A and B are shown apart, each in its own frame.
Chain A
Amino acid sequence: MYIFAIVIINLINFLLCVFILRSNPHKKINRSFSAIIFLVILWSISLFLSDQIKGQAALFWNKFIFTVAFLQGAFLFYFGALFPFSIIKIEKIAKYFFLPFGILLSILSVSTNLIVEKIEFFDWGTNVEPGSLYGSFIGFMSISVIGMLIILIAKYKKSVGLERFQLRYMFLGMVLSAIVTLTTNMFLPLITGNNEFAKYGPLSMIFLIGFTTYAIIRHRLMDIRLVIKRTTVYVSTVILILLFALGLYGLELKYFKETVPPGVWGPIVLLVGLIIFDPLKKVFEGLANKYFFASLYNYQATLEKLARELTHSIDLDEIIDSIVKTIRDTMKLDRTGVLLFDEQTHNYEVRQTIGFTVANGISLVRNNFLTNYLLEKRQPVIYQELESLQNNGNGENSEIGKLKTNMKRIEASLCLPLIIKDKLIGIIVLGEKISRDAYTDEDLRLLESLGNQASVAIENARLYNNMEEIVEAKTKEVRQKNIHLEKLLKMRSEFLDITSHQLRTPTSVLIGILEMAMSGDLDRLPKERKLQQFSGAYLKARKLEQIISDLLRASELDSAPFELELKDFKEINLEEFLNRAISSKSMEAEKQQVKIFLKKPLPLSKIYGEERFLEEAFGNLLDNAIKYTPEENKQTGEKGEIVILVEKKDDYVVIKIKDNGIGIPKEEIKKLFEKFSRASNAKEMYTDGTGLGLFIVKEIIKGHKGKVEVESKLGQGSTFSVFLPIEAPA
């Protein structure tokens, strides 16, 4: 039995030793603890052998026990200095004092009689005589072990997060080992008077070793309290059922021995046990949840609650609020924040923070190392784990370093990525738990689920907001189009009203004069008067033609801009052209009592273009000049006159039509060349304009690759300048 126990337990120890060493051969913690485990194995073996072997070899093995013990003491102290984080001064003391001293003492104990002097065999057992320096054993071991405990307790007080966990585990292991050892080596011998149990003592070291190994290797530890809780529940259930089963057996023995055949009762009990196991466990779980570490949250309940909250809202701020609150309240954190990717700035902008200092730069740039890492791994990143990743000597050392810097800068202990369809839409940044515990596996699973739900909810809210914006924009667009349409319709009806008026005016005069001619009324008039009437009618008829022509032109130019092809550009004699233009308007000019001059000599003789069209353009310009120049200028008192000037400027010939008429108000010059625009003061003189003339001029000149400009002074006159390229386009 004992042999069996020794073999199994030492095998496990051996496995753990190898395991620790292999997981990180470079770390001092791992190496020193492996040594400790190894020494425990030796200790176990030597205890066994010292007990079993008789004779001279027994002395050796007894001495060997102490050899191993001294080394153990030294290494324990050393380990205490290193685990879970190193205190340099103490490490140095351990390395330069304890270890050498321990080695010295261990050599002494094996090679001399100073520690163990001799050994005597009796019937009742063995007696070991301590040597003269036996006291050093007590002394050294006490100092090492107590020293180690003091250091570890001090560290525990200072520790945070992961390290705290690790120490807790180690303490738990120690406590368990201590309890067992005390039981086997002290209580049971006292009670039973039998020393047999003492040899099981060392085997209890497995607890310490096991728990510490776990603490060293695992990065993320299950919350110990959860472990205790679960174990307690399970064990309680098992014990209760066992008791129940035993009770049933007792019943059977007492009452049913005759009635029930043997072999039947067993399965019946088993069946009952199995059936009630699960419900019973749940009962204990419920009790445990209530009274035992009640602060530990219920994973499922949290998720469900959040899921419900998230489905209630599509308001982005509300969603972020409830996510942040839930995480903070459930896990009791000191800092929480949410960053969301902003499409416009291409940064991850802060949406909400609680507990972060204002000064830190919590907004990250898009292609930041951290964000890339989060997107790639799709898992939460914990700052403390980066440390151990780094120490494990992965090839990504510098990258891990960058990650750490990034996280440190934003005071993040944990970064939870929010990912939708390969896009990192945001990050939830968490600080430390208020209890200074580390994040456990359960925490991370909860966070990952929360993260997924959050991502979906946020993305939905975003999409909804986008939809709202799009709909709003479209509605605005439609409304604007409607307004525009209304305006157009109004303009069109106004246009019809005016145009019909313009067309009717000359028509009525024509009809009138013709009727009067037919009826003989005109014959009754003096000759002068008769001529006056006829010429009036004649001009009105021409005016009518002009209006019709303007309307037609404007309509054409509306659908297709006027473009002159290269072959249409012909040579035109400038002086002749201008003279013809002037004479074509002579009747109108005379009627208005306005004179038109052409300033000579002309700086050039030829221009290029399509003569017919240029006639139209200049015709319109002269019409305007005549229309808006009174016989006598009210302001200056000058006699109304129009001068045509020709100049050269860069590559253009400039033909200016300068009048001293009523001028144009400054604000209206810009709109002059638009369709139907007439300056407000035009109505002073002439209500017969279609408003199309200048528009037509502009289009024709544009087609000639030229331009038209106007300068004017209100009340004093206007100058219209036509720019035409000197050379015909090639």
Chain B
Amino acid sequence: MTKQKILLIEDDEDQILMYQTKLELEGFSIFAAETAEKGLLLAKEERPNLVLLDLLLKELTVPTGLEILKKLKAEKITKDIPVVVLTNFGTMEVKQESMRLGATDFIIKSQITPSKLVEIIRKSLNKK
């Protein structure tokens, strides 16, 4: 069975390390992108099964993650890939916007544990 590919768009090193560790232990194949550009590129090239997207990347105050989400859902290649928004920027406004833009789920990092994240990922993948 091929490993499920997960694209993690996240800029915090420690976060990346943690999620990589856990998800690899759980049998996923992870690759990370620290910028929006890199993220979009990898999504197109690698065609992951799921994208984990952080909203606050290099621009403080503006959740650039939403832009990435929009683009992902606009491109033919990537529009069907489920995107789980995984962020610490938890305003209601942004949550609503993410769901409207087509995110599968909206998670606040500090509110879940790595195991829980794995569950959510599995659920999203199985939904397909």
B17 on interface, CB distance cutoff 8 Å:
yes
Contacts of B57 in A (CB 8 A): 687
Q: How far is the CA of A256 from the CA of B17 in the complex (A)?
A: 144
Chain A residues 491-523 with CB under 8 Å of chain B are 494, 497-498, 500-501, 504-505, 507-509, 511-513, 515-516, 519, 521-522
A667 on interface, CB distance cutoff 8 Å:
no
Chain B: how many interface residues by the 8 Å CB criterion? 27
A540 touches which one: B14, B59, B89, B91 (CB < 8 A)?
Answer: B14
Asked whether B18 lies within 8 Å of A505 as measured between CB atoms, the reply is no
Question: Which one of B1-9, B44-52, B67-75, B109-117 is at the A interface?
Answer: B109-117
Task: Report the minimal beta-carbon distance from B53 to chain A, rounded to whole angstroms.
Answer: 15
Asked whether A524 lies within 8 Å of B18 as measured between CB atoms, the reply is no
Q: How far is the CA of A522 from the CA of B113 in the complex (A)?
A: 14
Task: Report the minimal beta-carbon distance from A438 to chain B, rounded to whole angstroms.
Answer: 82
Minimal Cβ-Cβ distance residue in A for B15? A509
Q: How large is the interface on A (under 10, 10 to 19, 20 to 34, 35 or more residues)?
A: 20 to 34
Task: Report the minimal beta-carbon distance from B128 to chain A, rounded to whole angstroms.
Answer: 26
Minimal Cβ-Cβ distance residue in B for A494? B61
Chain B residues 54-111 with CB under 8 Å of chain A are 56-61, 88-91, 108-110
Asked whether B14 lies within 8 Å of A539 as measured between CB atoms, the reply is yes
Q: How far is the CA of A539 from the CA of B12 in the complex (A)?
A: 13
Asked whether A521 lies within 8 Å of B22 as measured between CB atoms, the reply is yes
Q: How far is the CA of A274 from the CA of B3 in the complex (A)?
A: 133
A509 touches which one: B11, B18, B58, B61 (CB < 8 A)?
Answer: B18
Known: A498-B60, A516-B22, A516-B114. A504 touches B14 (CB 8 A): no
Asked whether A511 lies within 8 Å of B113 as measured between CB atoms, the reply is yes
Known: A501-B89, A505-B12. A512 touches B61 (CB 8 A): no
Name, among B89, B110, B113, the residue most crowded by chain A CB atoms within 10 Å (CB to CB): B110
Chain B residues 6-58 with CB under 8 Å of chain A are 11-15, 17-19, 21-22, 25, 56-58
A684 on interface, CB distance cutoff 8 Å:
yes
A484 on interface, CB distance cutoff 8 Å:
no
Contacts of A515 in B (CB 8 A): 113-115
Contacts of A687 in B (CB 8 A): 11-12, 56-58, 60
Q: How far is the CA of A525 from the CA of B21 in the complex (A)?
A: 8
Question: Which one of A260-268, A530-538, A568-576 is at the B interface?
Answer: A530-538
A683 on interface, CB distance cutoff 8 Å:
yes
A634 on interface, CB distance cutoff 8 Å:
no
Known: A683-B58, A684-B58. A508 touches B21 (CB 8 A): no
A462 on interface, CB distance cutoff 8 Å:
no
Known: A504-B110, A515-B115, A524-B25. A509 touches B91 (CB 8 A): no
Task: Report the minimal beta-carbon distance from B79 to chain A, rounded to whole angstroms.
Answer: 28
Task: Report the minimal beta-carbon distance from A166 to chain B, rounded to whole angstroms.
Answer: 91
Name, among A497, A522, A532, A537, the residue most crowded by chain B CB atoms within 10 Å (CB to CB): A497
Q: How far is the CA of A411 from the CA of B18 in the complex (A)?
A: 96
| Closest 7 pairs between A and B when the two form their complex, measured CB to CB | A504-B88, A508-B109, A508-B110, A504-B110, A536-B14, A515-B113, A507-B110
Interface residues of A (CB under 8 A from B): 494, 497-498, 500-501, 504-505, 507-509, 511-513, 515-516, 519, 521-522, 524-525, 529, 532-533, 536-537, 539-540, 678, 683-684, 687-688
